[in-house]
């Protein structure tokens, strides 16, 4: 990525973050402490899973995002999951080739040791609307039990038909870890397009 492109990318992420924080403030909430923010504006399907697009802070040679299954594509500045085999990817997993188990999860680089909220915008829905959109913490598989947190690692699960395009999903998990990662997934035959992923602490910025 050229210097000019890196600058434009950083500006795009910052602008998207300002918009999301602005929405939170408009709802009467105090300014949050940001753990992670992504607006996907400069992503492409070809570059999304590369460190050239976005690297781990703890290891610049590794990408921030890993596809863990199914179909994941970038369309018009948003990330589309499904329909072929569903679609899922992780954010902040530093050991992507290692599957999480009931006794051990790969190390992540997100500090989710304090109460936090995951916010993501739903852009579009399609496919089999009986299929579910799911979010996991410290679990890179499709089974909720494959994590030291057990079934609690699946912090969100809703049928696509119960969701609405243009709305924002807010999740307040009860899974805490100073070395965490998250996984976003749609089940096979489902389609969901997401944008403006944000993780913030629930405490106010000081």
Q: Terminus-to-terminus CA distance in the chain, angstroms?
A: 34
Compute the distance between CA of residue 177 and CA of residue 139 in angstroms, rounded to an integer.
Answer: 12
Residue 61 CB burial class (10 angstroms; 0-12, 13-18, ≥19): exposed
Nearest Cα neighbor of 86 from 191, 157, 194 is: 191
What's the whole-number mean pLDDT along residues 107-116?
98
Write down the pLDDT at residue 1. Answer: 52
pLDDT at 19 over 90: no
pLDDT tens digits, one per residue of 45-94: 999 999 999 999 999 999 999 999 999 999 999 999 999 999 999 999 99
Query: Measured between alpha carbons, how far is residue 115 from residues 89, 123, 182 in Å?
Result: 23, 27, 15
Which residues pair with residue 57 across a beta bridge? none
What CATH code would you report for 3-204? 2.60.120.260
Q: Structural domain boundaries of the chain?
A: 3-204
What stretch of H or E contains 47? none
Q: How many helices (H) and strands (E) does the chain have?
A: 1, 13
Write down the pLDDT at residue 203. Answer: 81
Which residues pair with residue 195 across a beta bridge? 121
23 pLDDT band (50/70/90 cuts)? low
Nearest Cα neighbor of 6 from 44, 53, 66 is: 53
């Amino acid at each position: 990525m050229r210097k000019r492109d890196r600058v434009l990318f950083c500006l795009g992420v910052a602008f998207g973050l300002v918009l999301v924080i602005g929405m939170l403030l408009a709802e009467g909430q105090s300014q949050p402490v940001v753990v992670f923010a992504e607006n996907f504006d400069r992503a492409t399907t070809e570059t999304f899973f590369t460190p050239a697009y976005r690297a781990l802070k703890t290891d610049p040679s590794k990408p921030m995002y890993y596809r863990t299954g199914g179909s994941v594509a970038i369309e018009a500045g948003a990330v589309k999951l499904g329909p072929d085999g569903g679609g899922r990817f992780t954010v902040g997993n530093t050991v992507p080739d290692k599957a999480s188990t009931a006794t051990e999860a790969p190390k992540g680089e997100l500090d989710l040791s304090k109460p936090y909220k995951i916010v993501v915008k739903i852009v579009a829905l399609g496919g089999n609307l009986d299929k579910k959109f799911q979010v996991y913490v410290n679990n890179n598989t499709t089974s909720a039990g494959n994590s030291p947190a057990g079934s609690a690692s699946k912090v969100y699960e809703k049928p696509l038909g119960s969701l609405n395009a243009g709305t924002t999903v807010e999740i307040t998990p009860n899974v805490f870890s100073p070395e965490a990662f998250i996984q976003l997934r749609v089940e096979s035959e489902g389609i969901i397009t997401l944008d403006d992923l944000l993780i913030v602490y629930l405490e106010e910025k000081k």
